[in-house]
Structures are given as structure tokens and as C-alpha cells.
Amino acid sequence: QVQLVQSGSELKKPGASVRVSCEASGYTLSRHSINWVRQVPGQGLEWMGWIDTNTGTPTYARDFTGRFVFSLGTSVNTAYLQINSLKVDDTAVYYCARDLAIGRLDTWGQGTLVTVSS
């Protein structure tokens, strides 16, 4: 059974960093890219970008350049989202999703709530 399991909720202070993990099971991570999607409370889904799980090459949406970093685990079937210099406005649920083909996000993680508050 194909699954993406994300790490648990995080509470961080402004200026800190957070890393969200997305572990794939039931398939090999390198076969399909992983996309990251954000949902700010009360707002819609925002596409953050994707990582080529073969090469490790990330592509970021315009609004997610600079502080956001997509990466892959060295020895496990896991992708990561790191957010640096956290701001209160980064408070959101972050999802990872497998892309079977272009924009065909067929399997999603359960979401990770990141709360940024002083």
C-alpha cells in the first residue's frame, strides 16, 4: 500500500528553523517526484514546488524561494522540507504529495501543522 507519512506537529519561535519529513512506503521514493503544498489556516492550497527524487534537484515556486529547502534523505525513503528564519506567516499545514506524472498528485501525506509563535 502506497503511503506518505509525515512528521508530527511543530511549534517554533520566529527566526527558528523547522524540518518536516515525508517518508514513503509501498514504493521506491526515487521513482516519482515529491511535491510540497502549503495551506495557511482559512486559505487555499498553494503549490510550493517539487523535488526530483532521482537527482535531488529542487524546483521552487516563486513565493517559496530563499528560506524553503527541499532535500532527500541519504539512506531512507524520505524527503524533507526545511523552512529557515521562520515567520509568524509561515504558520500552516504542509503536505507532501507524490507526483505520478505532471501534476498528477495521487498520494498525499497526512499534513504537518507548523505553528510559529513567540
Partner 1 sequence: QSALTQPASVSGSLGQSITISCTGTSSDVGSYKYISWYQHHPGKAPRLMIYEVSDRPSGVSDRFSGSKSGNTASLTISGLQAEDEADYYCNSFTSSGTLVFGGGTKLTVL
Q: Is 47 in the site for partner 1 (CB under 8 A)?
A: yes
Q: Is 102 in the site for partner 1 (CB under 8 A)?
A: yes
Q: What is the identity of the amino acid at 14?
A: P
Among 22, 24, 34, 37, binds partner 1 (CB under 8 A): 37
Q: Is 114 in the site for partner 1 (CB under 8 A)?
A: no
Q: Is 55 in the site for partner 1 (CB under 8 A)?
A: no
For residues 5 and 96, give the distance between their C-alpha atoms in angstroms, rounded to a whole number: 9
Among 21, 109, 112, 114, binds partner 1 (CB under 8 A): 109
Q: Is 74 in the site for partner 1 (CB under 8 A)?
A: no
